[in-house]
Amino acid sequence: MAVVAGVDVGSLCTKTVILDGNGKILSYDIMRSGHYYKGAAEESIENALKSAGLKKGDISYTLGTGYGRGAVAEADAEVTEITCHARGAARLFPEVHTVIDIGGQDSKVIGIGDNGRVTNFVMNDKCAAGTGRFLEVMALALSVDIGEMGDLFFASKEKVDVSSMCTVFAESEVISLFARGHKKADIAAGIAHAIARRIMGMVGQVGLREKVVMSGGVAKNAGVVRAIEERIETSLLVPHEPQIVGAFGAAIIASERMSATIG
């Protein structure tokens, strides 16, 4: 059975998923994209191959997606990240009708119909507001590890509003709130709620249909997940590894194209 790969080159991280002929994930890799997307794609593929005990010649078809999909030298084809996120989410959760994806430097809300088909979407890629990069800057302003941000949300006792979503202005606002004596947990919760407000606006443009999947690196922040759940008034389905949904979708499409070629 043919082994295929999906490579999602994001602005912040590059992800690779390798599937066997039955659609089972053999391995995956997540690494920083850095400034050389082509090199990141090559390294991520090599890492995934090593984890699976495979070599390059074992891959029958490779499909690239993401912001830097054109940099995947091994790719047999490219597909947009919107399509790949929809397909990946639908395979993981067949009941999904809405995907909220918050990545390193962009956010997407995708409406999904039957068989993972995209019916509508809205994407913010004009600034880093509310993304993984935004959270990294906020964590630095609070002098906490990025991994602590989600836990801090649940320790909050007082409501603190973070009004700005511009990364530069929000950083100044957070520093000012901290200087005025507000606790880190309350500020972290305010940041999560600010992201949720922004996402709610995007959801409103697409239209909310349950079930809802959240993907992307920010889905690892439990505080942001809870804040969004409170806004949209429904539970979010979060994959075990939310960062690889796009690469997984790319690998699924690669597998289908490979099967069509063989057939």
pLDDT digits (tens, 9 = 90+) for 135-176: 888 888 888 888 888 899 999 999 888 877 777 777 888 888
Residue 263 has pLDDT above 70, yes or no: no
What confidence tier does 228 reach under pLDDT thresholds 50, 70, 90?
very high
pLDDT of residue 121: 96
Q: How far apart, in whole angstroms, are the C-alpha atoms of residue 102 and residue 188?
A: 17
Residues 218, 103 contacting (CB under 8 angstroms) = yes
Among 148, 227, 236, 234, smallest CA distance to 191 is for 227
- Which has the closest alpha carbon to 216: 6, 27, 30? 30
* pLDDT value of residue 105: 82
Could you please state the CATH topology (level 3) that the domain comprising 95-238 is classified under.
Nucleotidyltransferase; domain 5 (3.30.420)
The structure's pTM equals 0.92
Q: Determine the average pLDDT of the residues in 171-191.
A: 88
pLDDT given for residue 125 in this prediction: 63
Distance between the two ends of the chain, CA-based, in angstroms? 12
User: Percent of the chain at pLDDT above 70?
Assistant: 96
Residue in the block written with tokens 């530069």: 168
- Write the secondary structure of the chain as one string of H (helix), E (strand) and C (coil): CCEEEEEEECCCEEEEEEECCCCCEEEEEEEECCCCHHHHHHHHHHHHHHHHCCCHHHEEEEEEECCCHHHCCCCCEECCHHHHHHHHHHHHCCCCCEEEEECCCCEEEEEECHHHCEEEEEEECCCCCCCHHHHHHHHHHHCCCHHHHHHHHCCCCCCCCCCCCCHHHHHHHHHHHHHCCCCHHHHHHHHHHHHHHHHHHHHHHHCCCCCEEEECHHHHCHHHHHHHHHHHCCCEECCCCHHHHHHHHHHHHHHHHHHHHHC
- Average pLDDT for 215-219: 93
Instruction: Break the chain into its structural domains and give their ranges.
Output: 1-93+244-263, 95-238
Average pLDDT over residues 164-190: 84
Tell me which CATH code domain 1-93+244-263 carries: 3.30.420.40
Q: Say what the pLDDT of residue 143 is.
A: 87
Confidence of residue 1 (pLDDT cuts 50, 70, 90): low
- Assigned token pair, 92: 């993981």
For the chain, what is the mean pLDDT?
91
pLDDT reported for residue 163 = 78
Cβ atoms < 10 Å from Cβ of 32:
13
Q: Is 163 or 63 the better-scoring residue by pLDDT?
A: 63
Residue 196 corresponds to which tokens in the numbers above? 């949720």
pLDDT at position 103: 87
Main-chain phi, psi angles of 236, to 5 degrees: -100, 140
Of 86-90, 92-96, 134-138, 184-188, least confident by mean pLDDT is: 134-138
Q: What is the mean pLDDT of residues 70-81?
A: 94
Mean pLDDT value across residues 177-190: 90
1-93+244-263 and 95-238 share one CATH topology?
A: yes
